[in-house]
Chains A and B, each alone.
Chain A
Amino acid sequence: MAVLVIAEHDNRALKSATLNALAAASELKEKGGGEIDCLVAGKDCRGVAESAAKVAGLKRVLLAEDAAYEHILAEDLAPLVVRLAPSYGYLLAPTTTAGKNLMPRVAALLDVMQISDVSAILSLDTFVRPIYAGNALATVQSSDPTKVLTVRGTAFPAVEASGGAAAVEEISATGSAGVSEFLRAELSKSERPELTSARVVISGGRGMQSGENFQLLEKVADRLGAAIGASRAAVDAGFVPNEYQVGQTGKIVAPELYIAVGISGAIQHLAGMKDSKVIVAINKDEEAPIFSVADYGIVGDLFKIMPELDAELARRG
């Protein structure tokens, strides 16, 4: 029962979430699953396939190049995955917006249920997944012949991106379904680490009061090499764009250090960050629920505390 991992990339570089999905694939292999292949579908993306081939533990990298795959439209990519499916027992993708968009379409075409956002693999057919914003964990057993999984990146530490020497095999494309087209993207350009893979994350909430005030977080983020996130309230208020949102329906993060600033700690937000190793909460309301999950809480005015934190970090170097 071989495993196929759908690589996530931007036609230039492999995205780190793929390495987490490959870690889940390795667990399946250890538990008795088969060899691991990786599908790189895109436009002019041989470079991505070559870097995927260097990832440890892969047997083959399947490269499908076609203009139709440039923007990973599910209508065009799903038929390719479905064509490959008979050779595999498992189809995996990371729980990213791309994975969430594609994989249920693949699953339905194969007449199987997808197992969403898997956080643990117990055996070849039994998986754990969070439900109700992570307030409960369901253990589910699949009776489907092909198991289609999206996997929670924070639950599977990334495999090494080097040390492997898999073969790159070109495969034919399935072409365009002709029903959808990509028009444009407005992607945030940031020098900061990616939110879901950063070692340190600093998030702001409604307490930040405005988008400009996020500068207070940026200063500290620069010192710690941190990514910046936000609560839904801060995104809804227009302080920062949607891609900053951490929570049940936004991004799930589990950094070494998570600093929540002016965030009260709604269940939906906690769902996105409570698996962080160390949580710091800064909030003026000492009753705020965020303190109940924080390892270190400071009650006080963030507009006073953040500059102090910046200065203290500068002083200690």
Chain B
Amino acid sequence: MKALVAVKRVVDFNVKVRVKADKSGVETAGVKMSMNPFDEIGVEEALRLKEKGAVEEVVAVSLGVAQCQETIRTALAMGADRGILVETDAELQPLAVAKLLKAVVLEEKPGLVILGKQAIDDDCNQTGQMLAALLGWPQATFASKLVIADGHAEVTREVDGGLETIRIVLPAILTTDLRLNEPRYASLPNIMKAKRKPIATVTPESLGVDVAPRLKTLKVEEPPKRQGGKKVGSVAELVDKLKNEARVI
């Protein structure tokens, strides 16, 4: 079985994002970019399946500008076998990404597609579910444990009330949650090796997918600032303030 992992290039999670003065978006020029953390967990899970013998090949797919190659290289350095870049300068929204991934899936025929549950830039939490819908495949979202056996996946999911375990037929879509695993670091020899691994490049046009955005971003603004920073000297003073000033207890 082949595993396909989608990896998104996003503003690094340590960067404090700034809204652009013209309100057209957030500043990304000169900002450190990294693989979406949930996608790193996805790559790690695919690699573990390969190490256990449940998967023969791990293919990393990224979609977007030419620099997404770097994100694919990160996945290759972790241990993925090859990459596919769907290259475009166009803005890609989750529905378009799901359509592009569907085209790649129909070509590659993986038994499992792993995606992060959400990207930490747009926080949409949609693409995996949309891809599952378009393929007519089952979905196991917010996964914290995965066991593959007999053409099925048994997946434990993080849900609002605790944990839930479902069993789905393969091929299927999995989206990762934080506790699924702890991604490995790429070793220097593996980073060198990754440079020689193949990355194929395709385009939305070559895949025949219309990626026109359905949502128009009218503006992006900073949220109202909270006026915090006041300190109190004692617990008695705190309780007094909560009772008599804030009136919340």
Chain A residues with a Cβ under 8 A of chain B: 71, 73-75, 78, 96-98, 100-109, 111-117, 126, 130-144, 177-188, 196, 200, 224, 232, 235-236, 241-243, 248-249, 251, 256-257, 267-268, 274, 277-280, 286, 291-299, 305, 308-309, 312-313, 316
Contact = CB atoms under 8 A, between A and B. Distances in A.
Nearest to A185: B164
A187 B177 CA distance: 17
A138 B13 CA distance: 19
A177 B231 CA distance: 57
Given A104-B126, A183-B165, A136 B144 contact: no
B123 interface: yes
Nearest to A279: B228
Interface of B: 11, 13, 16-17, 19, 26, 38, 93-95, 98, 117-118, 120-134, 137-142, 144, 154, 157-169, 172, 177-179, 213-223, 226, 228-232, 234-236, 238-239, 241-243, 246, 248-249
A298 B178 contact: no
Contact of B26 (A136, A251, A268, A316): A136
Query: Which 5 residue pairs spanning A and B have beta carbons closest together?
Result: A104-B129, A108-B130, A108-B133, A104-B126, A113-B214
Given A96-B160, A101-B142, A182-B164, A292 B169 contact: no
Given A105-B129, A257-B249, 6 more contacts: A74-B129, A108-B129, A179-B137, A182-B164, A187-B162, A313-B249
Contacts of A135: 16-17, 26, 222-223
Nearest to B10: A132
B141 A101 contact: yes
A242 B179 contact: yes
Contact of B218 (A103, A113, A126, A313): A126
Contacts of A242: 144, 158, 162-163, 177-179
A309 B248 CA distance: 15
Contacts of B168: 179-181
A277 B123 contact: no
B95 A112 contact: yes
Contacts of B11: 132
A256 B232 contact: no
Nearest to B173: A105
Contacts of B214: 112-113, 142-144
Contacts of B161: 185, 187-188, 243
A277 B219 contact: no
20 contacts: A73-B166, A97-B157, A108-B131, A112-B95, A130-B123, A132-B11, A132-B120, A135-B223, A137-B223, A143-B216, A177-B138, A179-B168, A181-B166, A181-B168, A185-B159, A236-B179, A248-B120, A278-B242, A279-B228, A295-B230
Contacts of A143: 214-216
Contacts, number: 266
A257 B242 contact: yes
Nearest to B221: A137
B124 A140 contact: no
Nearest to B26: A136
B130 A107 contact: yes
Contacts of A313: 239, 249
A116 B126 contact: yes
B231 A97 contact: no
A26 B67 CA distance: 44
B16 A267 contact: yes
A241 B218 CA distance: 39
Given A236-B179, A242-B162, A257-B249, A105 B226 contact: no
B119 to A, nearest CB: 10
Contact of B139 (A101, A134, A138, A140): A101
B123 A136 contact: no
Given A113-B94, A135-B223, A292-B229, A180 B166 contact: yes
Given A113-B94, A139-B218, A242-B163, A296 B129 contact: no
A136 B222 contact: yes
A90 to B, nearest CB: 15
A182 B246 contact: no
